[in-house]
Amino acid sequence: MFKSISTRWTWTCIQYRRLAIASAACPRSFRPQAKAAGAWPNLTVRCVPEPRGLYRAKASSSSNLAATASELESAKSQDALLREFAQIPVERIRNFSIIAHVDHGKSTLADRILELTGAITKQEGQHQVLDNLQVERERGITVKAQTASIFYKYKDQQTYLLNLIDTPGHVDFSNEVSRSLAACDGVILLVDACHGVQAQTVANYHLAKQRNLIVVPVLNKIDIKHAQPEKVIQDLQFLFQIDPKTVLQVSAKLGLGIKEVLNRVIESIPPPQVQREQEFRALIFDSWFDKYRGALNLIYILNGHLEQGQEIQSMATKKIYPLKTISILRPKECDVKSLSAGQVGLIACNMRNSKESIIGDTIYLKNQIVQSAGNYTPQKPLVFAGIFPVDQSKHVALRSAIDKMILNDSAVTLMVDSSPALGQGWRLGFLGLLHMEVFCQRLEQEHNAEPIITAPSVTYRIVLNNPRMIKQMGKNTLDISNAALFPEPSNIKEYYEPLVMGTIITPSEYVGQIIALCIDRRGVQQSSINIDETRILMTYVLPLSEIILDFHDRLKSLSSGYASFSYEDHGYHLTNLVRLDIHLNGRPVEELCRIVHATKATGIARQMVHKLKDLIPRQMVQIAIQACVGSKVLARETIKAYRKDVTAKLYGGDVTRRMKLLRQQAEGKKKMRMFANIRVPHETFINVLKR
Ligand SMILES: Nc1nc2c(ncn2[C@@H]2O[C@H](COP(=O)(O)OP(=O)(O)OP(=O)(O)O)[C@@H](O)[C@H]2O)c(=O)[nH]1
């Protein structure tokens, strides 16, 4: 049966393709012909444009070909659930996030919850359905928080609506966590029963507590032989004063204890504090770009109702938009007719970019007066890098790709920038190096953009002492993230650099090496607590510039992977900085210059020229690589030129002839060296900074 359908299917498709291409007709005139000729009345034919104005028929069957009895059955129950969705009272809604350290099993637990509530099948649950970006699957980490609205029948046989948000665990994506918490009343704090409390567990716990959210503590991975649930429960009690009796134990992998988690969510997390009788008001807490519908906004409704066909207004831009579609994520998009206070939904309303669709913005019905929902502000970026198109003809395309990405990642900031070597571009701000790498990978994978990224740097603060410059700038303090824009030292009175408060949790046997690493990175210890007999929690104030590149990797390798690290902004402090310039054959390369601490300038200079010697390919001319502070050369390396044997054609003869030819060659090379454009590969700008 299947075989015959598939053969007929292929045959029909080929026929339609021929028909479409032969007629080169417009899609609309083609569609009725194709449908009329079809063997199946429900066959849908889409016409996809091909080069040279032709159209390709793309056929697909709708429901009654593919639908099995069980699918129809589930579609029916979906309908019933969606009808029920509109009537669920606020008391039967729970909004919560799953927060944890990296790899403690958030996405796996989310999968099991979706499976248990029937939102996905067991087969779909094999592949972490909420991690749907290519970069997430390739790197095996969550980078975007994902929402799912699910229905759960509680013990009292009442159906509850649970809005679940799976959040990322890595510190570089903590903006996703804080953004998600703005739409929640509680969290599941998941802790790996083998690795115990880690740095990001502490950071996320405090983030939830700052927002007065209810914390449901859950131990995961209890199926593993080495799990030590009792010890981890003790740690939770010691660090967060969590009552051991309230800690649940699950195995997300095996699906053990999931029901108990959902029951506890319903019992301990309160329903949302919202008013359905008041005027409509909602918070935009996520957005992304859809090719056909523009910006899609994920909203949390604080008051009132929203129905299809209404017009909404943005509090930030005051612009009015007609509502195109309303849906909920289960986790696939499911159209609904209306949304009420307490619910989370997705709306499309012709917003086009990140300037219109603003995370943290309040929306309301046209021309009504409501209070701002504003209880969310994006985190400040810490690491900055220049981004430039490979050639300037790609400028507009790259700008549009960046815009679409920023719509989906509100933590990234954008400023216009230009460079003599790379042309017009932008300076982007990120929360860390991984955040920057993931952003660039997504630009490439999701938007086919391959930009040049310059070396990442932090923002330094300088106080000027030159009255002429102060007058020109209109202020005496400047924040500078581009080393090339650093003024001459004679114009600067004081230098300040950004600091972070870092939390390190490590087994006690690695403490010595870790303290040495922190001292080497100019860290100052603030506290040290023994969590238990084997583990220590230390806090350090560290300069941000010392940790952005490889601190985490060094920490992991020193502690055989057992130590964990998380950090938060800790303001600026007075310091002594210098600008380290890199010269290639006497010419400064702006993209490679760096601001460094004065005491480290010589070491970094040696390291950089040595690295550049390996990274820059040999060329026709000799290349002198110099690292200088002002006019003082701190380190130098030379890359030898390719050498043509100009004396090859001589057979014996006077030695002066050989010398003459070699002298001529040397003269020519000297001239060439002055004018030659030395090619520095794009990757060099970042690779040179990695230690
Ligand atoms: N044995 C065992 N392994 C588990 C369990 N839960 C998760 N894992 C494994 O732990 C690894 C990490 O799980 P994820 O769900 O990706 O962790 P995560 O917290 O979502 O990771 P990030 O989002 O990147 O922070 C995966 O290999 C899972 O298969 C469990 O209960 N038992």
> What ipTM was estimated for this complex?
0.98
215 pLDDT band, cuts 50/70/90, is: very high
What is the percentage of the chain residues whose pLDDT exceeds 90? Answer: 35
Q: Measure 107 CA to ligand 1 centroid, in angstroms.
A: 7
C-beta of residue 325 within 8 angstroms of C-beta of residue 271: no
Length of the chain: 691
Are 149 and 229 in a shared domain? Answer: yes
102 lines ligand 1 (CB under 6 A): yes
Among residues 188, 257, 200, the alpha carbon closest in space to that of 227 is found at 257
Is residue 36 in a domain?
yes
- CATH assignment of the domain containing 421: 3.30.70.870
- The stretch 287-304 carries a mean pLDDT of 89
Q: How many CB atoms lie within 10 A of CB 21?
A: 16
105 lines ligand 1 (CB under 6 A): yes
CA 412 vs CA 141, 382, 390, 549: distances in Å: 19, 10, 21, 18
Residue 257 Cβ contacting ligand 1 at under 6 Å: no
Ligand 1 centroid, distance to 108 Cα (angstroms): 6
Distance 76 CA to ligand 1 centre (A): 34
> In angstroms, rounded to a whole number, what is the distance separating the alpha carbons of residues 354 and 345?
19
Ligand 1 centre to CA of 120 (Å) is 18
Per the prediction, the chain carries an average pLDDT of 81
Residue 173 placed within a domain = yes
Q: Which residue has the tokens 């130098």?
A: 636
pTM of the predicted model over 0.80? no
Identify the pLDDT of residue 512. 93
Half-sphere exposure of residue 612: CA atoms within 13 angstroms, side-chain side: 27
Q: What are phi and psi of 277, to 5 degrees?
A: -80, -15
pLDDT of 485 reads: 83
Residue 620 clears pLDDT 80, i.e. is over it = no
Distance of CA 375 to the CA centre of its chain: 22
Give the number of other CB atoms < 10 A from CB of residue 93: 21
User: Do 320 and 352 form a contact (C-beta atoms < 8 A)?
Assistant: no
Using the predicted structure, report yes or no on whether residue 568 has a pLDDT greater than 60: yes
Do 224 and 94 fall within a single domain?
yes
Nearest CA to ligand 1 atom 4: 253
Residue 673: the pLDDT is 53
One domain, residues 219 and 125: yes
Report how far Cα 360 is from the mean position of its chain's Cα atoms.
18
pLDDT digits (tens, 9 = 90+) for 369-384: 778 776 667 778 888 8
Of the pLDDT bands very low, low, confident and very high (cuts 50, 70, 90), residue 172 is: confident
Domain C-terminal end among 244, 268, 292: 268
pLDDT at 25: 36
Query: Could you give the CA distance from residue 288 to residue 40 in angstroms, rounded to a whole number?
Result: 37
CB neighbours of 137 closer than 8 A, spacing ≥ 6?
128, 131
The pLDDT score that the predictor gives to residue 514 is 95
**Other beta carbons less than 10 A from residue 314's beta carbon:** 20
Same-domain status, 449 and 478: no
Going by pLDDT thresholds of 50, 70 and 90, the confidence category of residue 11 is very low
Report yes or no on 11 lying in a domain: no
Q: Mean pLDDT, to the nearest integer, of 650-671?
A: 77
Judging by DSSP bridges, how do beta strands 214-220 and 248-249 pair with one another?
Answer: parallel
pLDDT score of 584: 85
Task: Evaluate if residue 320 carries a pLDDT over 50.
Answer: yes
Residue 290 burial (CB count, 10 A): 12
Radius of gyration of the chain, Cα coordinates, nearest whole angstrom? 30
CB 43 within 8 A of CB 59: yes
From 133-142, 152-161, 332-341, 461-470, the region with the lowest mean pLDDT:
133-142
Q: Does residue 101 have a known ligand-binding role?
A: yes
Structure-token pair, residue 282: 């909602």
User: 321 and 344 in one domain?
Assistant: yes
Cβ(125) – ligand 1 distance below 6 Å: no
Residues 532 and 641 in one domain: no
Tell me the β-bridge partners of 575.
495
pLDDT at 163: 93
The token pair that represents 508 in the structure block: 């006690």
d(CA 287, CA 659): 71
Contacting residues for 675 by C-beta, under 8 A, at least 6 apart: none
Whether residue 482 is contained in a domain is answered as: yes
In a domain, 9, yes or no: no
My answer on whether 391 and 449 are in the same domain is yes
CA dihedral 556, 191, 224, 109 (to 10 degrees): -110
Q: Are 475 and 449 in contact (CB under 8 A)?
A: no
* CA 371 to ligand 1 centroid distance, Å: 41
Please indicate whether residue 167, judged by its CB atom, sits closer than 6 Å to ligand 1. no
- Angle between helix 551-558 and 511-520 (nearest 10): 160
Asked if residue 215 and residue 94 are part of one domain, the reply reads yes
Gap between the Cα atoms of 340 and 283, Å rounded:
13
Highest mean predicted confidence (pLDDT) among 21-25, 82-86, 352-356, 502-506? 502-506
> C-alpha angle 593/596/600, rounded to 5°?
125
Stretch 352-360: mean pLDDT: 83
Are both 439 and 477 inside the same structural domain?
A: no
pLDDT exceeds cutoff 50 at 102: yes
604 shares a domain with 474: no
Q: Give the residue-averaged pLDDT of 150-164.
A: 89
Tell me the one-letter amino acid at 246: T
Quote the longest CA-to-CA distance of the chain: 107
253 and 297 share one domain: no
Residue 378 is assigned to a structural domain of this protein: no
User: Which of 126, 253, 256, 258 is the pocket-test mutation for ligand 1 (most atoms within 8 Å of CB)?
Assistant: 253
Domain count, the chain: 6
Best probe residue, ligand 1, of 97, 98, 101, 103 (max atoms within 8 Å of C-beta): 103
More confident residue, 66 or 596: 596
Cα of 251 from ligand 1 centre, angstroms: 10
CB atoms within 10 A of CB 671: 10
Binding residue per annotation — 103? Answer: yes
Backbone phi and psi for residue 601, each to the nearest 5 degrees, phi listed first:
-60, -45
pLDDT, tens digit, for every residue of 32-50? Answer: 433 433 333 333 333 333 3
The range of the structural domain enclosing residue 490 comes to: 460-575
CA-closest candidate to residue 189, choices 158, 216, 149: 216
Task: Confirm or reject: Cβ of 506 under 6 Å from ligand 1.
Answer: no
Tell me, what's the pLDDT at 689?
61
User: CA–CA separation, 632 vs 635, rounded Å?
Assistant: 9
Closest-CA residue to 297 (of 350, 369, 339, 370): 350
Domain end (from 405, 421, 453): 453
Domain assignment of residue 70, yes or no: no
The last residue of one of the domains, among 575, 605, 634, is: 575
Whose C-alpha lies nearest to ligand 1, atom 11?
A: 103
Instruction: Indicate if the pLDDT at residue 72 is higher than 60.
Output: no
Per-residue pLDDT averaged across 271-295, rounded? 89
Structure tokens at 146: 């994902």
Query: Does residue 183 sit in the same domain as residue 53?
Result: no
Q: What is the pLDDT of residue 76?
A: 54
Stronger pLDDT, 621 or 203, i.e. the higher one: 203
CA of 643 to the centre of ligand 1 (A): 56
Asked if residue 100 has its Cβ within 6 Å of ligand 1, the reply is yes
Following DSSP, what letter does each residue of 228-266 receive, concatenated? -HHHHHHHHHHHH---GGG-EE-BTTTTBTHHHHHHHHH
The residue whose CA has the least distance to atom 14 of ligand 1 is 105
406 domain-assigned: yes
Instruction: Tell me the two tokens of residue 159.
Output: 């159906």
User: Do β-strands 452-453 and 383-388 pair in parallel, antiparallel, or remain unpaired?
Assistant: antiparallel
Other beta carbons within 10 Å of 36: 8
Which helix H or strand E contains 60, and what residues bound it? strand 55-61
Contact by Cβ (8 Å): 575, 545:
no
